Structure 1
């Protein structure tokens, strides 16, 4: 754990992230909640919950934790209790967002590779249970973080700002907690999604080859295959989401492994020339960028989502045009 960068580069980057991420996730939530994108209710449940948590990550981790200290350095939110609370909220939201991506990937793995379990597992009820469980565990896991911070100074009995207690770095118990914090997010999710994608690809290649051979013998190669076309769209969505997750979290994982195996600590200063700081903040910036990419993925892979998005964008423009007419 460390203080985020606060230079002009970070101010510009996180400002753009907030300006684009907040409306993008809100629009995604609205479109998917209407259920007109041709997706199953089970998939829609996961995608909506992912969009909600991504929106909350932008609010807590970007707006309040990174931009607020830059643009409004002194406010009620600068007090130690409020500062600690928002840091905990940001970790809860990030953990929940990451593990919902894992849950979605596992759901699609079952749907594609385990046909016997598909009818029992890939249901709205199962999705609701997984989403609720992930949210509860995410909250419980990060509650101890609140007690790792102390005020930088106290003025008129009011504690101001946050810094990590020294005991956090010297206590064995806190070291174990810090290690498990980063292992659970993003190391284990990274490996799980990678493994599930490898297994899914292997199953798809085997099943597609067998199906093509069967159809060529009976109907010829020229006839279309509606089932394979439907499966192809689902696979494209799965690989786009999980592939984006793996790519954007790779630097974050590399930084964690570098710290663990090199016996070095995380960068505690905002020294832009320190290689540790550059690697660390690059990982954080790409990690948070992942909260804005899903809308682009949906628009690029789902025709009906693009149609709904076009309608949402055009609606206020039509309203403005009518105002000018009157």
Structure 2
């Protein structure tokens, strides 16, 4: 047989084969909805809620060391939600768009690597900040004599800064763990006539190093989940016991409960929420220690990838829902939030207060006018034929009482008020009353008639 001279131009890919390759690159609906749509919505809500929480917790009114840790927690959760957006946006593209048409450029792939490292670090910082404010609350409640010495805002700021500095050292190796890789075979098949190139991130030389992998797995399992979560569980149990004892003593001595107990309840709710949503991630980390080969493979089992995606979504949900715990259990946080951001509620309250004040003022004016009318009627009953001098005095007294708006009625005027109301209910119009009314309005005429009768 003669030797065959075959070049690259002699290879021709059939259209059926090409369509089969493209069909095999269709996207999975589970990744689209879990790692795309749901994650994108949760991240957007988390960015807004953590920004609002951070703006309230850094105010000068929140003068407590615990609020410093909570402000750091909101900052780390905000960073987590912000840097998870690139990956969720990529998976949130419509399912009709195939995987090879997604914008998998070199720059975007590099952005995914850096954003993934920062978001992972943000989750770690959130766990250790929860440990920090749990210890702070435990010292304040269970060790009240040394609490004012150690639980200060200055110490809280120092501890928070130290945690963030350690987080920078933790994130630096994660950035070097992966690197962008060009898919040359796929680009030659699908994009032979175009300049488009697809990239994906794969493990770098550092990431493939067994020493680095096992060191990272141990640090992630012990330092991120096992040790901090154990500390949180133990101290929270002691805090619950102390709160129950305080409530029992307050009930026995009929004393009010401590003023800062609401802050402790808010922190307990926040840590319990963290434990619930971080449990799947802790399970994944322990599975790394048991069998790392499943995760090192290029394509791990589909059920394991599903569980990993759900664990990441739960961790993202935890970063976005701390604001809800602050609103429900934090009375001071809730009042500051309503005073700053709930402008509509404040306007309604102001309108209600103005309406109530105006209503009270109207009632006062009605009462004062009733008192004046009552005093005038009593005076008329005592002296039915006053002279000019006494009439002027009565007018002077009437003017003095009408100018001053009083809110209380004298005891002697109450029966007259009742009589006046009864007269209003059943008015009587007679000739004698009309004649008396005319005489009362014209005192000079009364004097003249009296003088004629006497003479």
Match of 1:224 among 255, 259, 262: 255
Match of 2:141 among 112, 121, 133: 112
Specify whether residues 10 and 76 from structure 1 end up closer, same or farther in structure 2 by C-alpha distance, changes over 3 A only: same
Specify whether residues 76 and 31 from structure 1 end up closer, same or farther in structure 2 by C-alpha distance, changes over 3 A only: farther
2:94 is aligned with 1:63: no
- More displaced 10-residue stretch of structure 1: 181-190 or 260-269: 260-269
Distance in 2 between residues matched to 1:234 and 1:306, nearest whole Å = 12
Matches within 5 A, 1:49-128: 49-60=72-83, 62-68=84-90, 70-71=92-93, 73-74=103-104, 77-80=107-110, 82-128=111-157
User: Does the aligned pair in 2 maintain the 1:17–1:292 contact within 8 Å?
Assistant: yes
Q: Could you tell me which residue of structure 2 aligns to residue 186 of structure 1?
A: 225
User: Does the aligned pair in 2 maintain the 1:79–1:159 contact within 8 Å?
Assistant: no
Runs of at least 5 residues in structure 1 that lack an aligned partner in the other structure: 320-326
User: Does the aligned pair in 1 maintain the 2:105–2:198 contact within 8 Å?
Assistant: no
Deviation at 1:65, TM superposition (A): 3.5
Q: How large is the RMSD of aligned CA atoms in angstroms?
A: 3.1
Q: Could you tell me which residue of structure 2 aligns to residue 200 of structure 1?
A: 239
Specify whether residues 231 and 303 from structure 1 end up closer, same or farther in structure 2 by C-alpha distance, changes over 3 A only: closer
2:50 is aligned with 1:25: yes
Specify whether residues 130 and 302 from structure 1 end up closer, same or farther in structure 2 by C-alpha distance, changes over 3 A only: same
Deviation at 1:17, TM superposition (A): 0.5
Higher relative contact order (CA 8 A, sep 6+): 1
Distance in 1 between residues matched to 2:275 and 2:217, nearest whole Å = 22
Distance in 2 between residues matched to 1:315 and 1:267, nearest whole Å = 53
User: Does the aligned pair in 1 maintain the 2:39–2:88 contact within 8 Å?
Assistant: yes
Deviation at 1:188, TM superposition (A): 2.1
Q: Could you tell me which residue of structure 2 aligns to residue 139 of structure 1?
A: 168
User: Does the aligned pair in 1 maintain the 2:265–2:329 contact within 8 Å?
Assistant: yes
Distance in 2 between residues matched to 1:294 and 1:46, nearest whole Å = 13
Q: Could you tell me which residue of structure 2 aligns to residue 322 of structure 1?
A: none
Specify whether residues 6 and 68 from structure 1 end up closer, same or farther in structure 2 by C-alpha distance, changes over 3 A only: same
Partner SS state of residue 152, structure 1: strand
User: Does the aligned pair in 1 maintain the 2:106–2:180 contact within 8 Å?
Assistant: no
Specify whether residues 245 and 176 from structure 1 end up closer, same or farther in structure 2 by C-alpha distance, changes over 3 A only: same
Distance in 2 between residues matched to 1:102 and 1:265, nearest whole Å = 31
TM-score (structure 1 length as normaliser): 0.80
User: Does the aligned pair in 1 maintain the 2:280–2:311 contact within 8 Å?
Assistant: yes
Distance in 1 between residues matched to 2:134 and 2:246, nearest whole Å = 19
Deviation at 1:76, TM superposition (A): 6.5
Higher-Rg member (1/2): 2
User: Does the aligned pair in 1 maintain the 2:131–2:232 contact within 8 Å?
Assistant: yes
Runs of at least 5 residues in structure 2 that lack an aligned partner in the other structure: 1-29, 94-101, 185-194, 348-455
Match of 1:300 among 321, 324, 328: 328
Distance in 1 between residues matched to 2:323 and 2:133, nearest whole Å = 16
User: Does the aligned pair in 1 maintain the 2:123–2:315 contact within 8 Å?
Assistant: no
2:100 is aligned with 1:43: no
Partner SS state of residue 290, structure 1: helix
TM-score (structure 2 length as normaliser): 0.59
Match of 2:305 among 270, 274, 277: 277
Q: Could you tell me which residue of structure 2 aligns to residue 12 of structure 1?
A: 37
Distance in 1 between residues matched to 2:198 and 2:345, nearest whole Å = 48
User: Does the aligned pair in 2 maintain the 1:149–1:164 contact within 8 Å?
Assistant: yes
